[in-house]
Amino acid sequence: MHTPRHPGRVLVEEILEPMGITQTAFASHLGWTFARLNEIANARRGITPDSALALSEAIEGTTPEFWLDLQRDWDLFLARPIHDRVPPYPFLAESGKVSCVSGVMKKYAAPDRSDD
């Protein structure tokens, strides 16, 4: 399993720095304080839906889902080593129950839809 990157590091190292944009200038453009952007950049703050929307609007070619997916991957990477496993609930072994869960998974695990 690969180690995911925090979305703030991706933002700074793969977008802002190569383009010669400072955190100060970008924070100003977003209407954020420098502290807010710097905390995201240094992995001390996560990407929220609001920040994902702002980043995707400011950086053409990215989407809110892109930023939130990076955050989700980072959060799960940190949570997995300390998570105490929970056994499956017994009713899932009953006939017909698994297909219900499968149907829900198919319905809601569809590819990202920008028209929601």
Domain annotation for the chain: domains and CATH numbers:
7-84 (1.10.260.40)
**Confidence at residue 116, expressed as pLDDT on a 0 to 100 scale:** 45
User: What value does the mean pLDDT take over residues 79-97?
Assistant: 82
In angstroms, the CA 62 to CA 99 distance is 35
**Confidence at residue 113, expressed as pLDDT on a 0 to 100 scale:** 52
3-state secondary structure (DSSP) of residue 57: helix
pTM for this structure?
Answer: 0.84
User: What value does the mean pLDDT take over residues 1-25?
Assistant: 96
Q: Which of 50, 80, 81, 79 is nearest to 67 (CA)?
A: 50
User: What value does the mean pLDDT take over residues 62-83?
Assistant: 97
pLDDT at 98 over 80: no
User: What value does the mean pLDDT take over residues 77-103?
Assistant: 82
**Confidence at residue 3, expressed as pLDDT on a 0 to 100 scale:** 93
Percent of the chain with pLDDT over 90: 73
Length of the chain: 116
User: What value does the mean pLDDT take over residues 22-48?
Assistant: 98
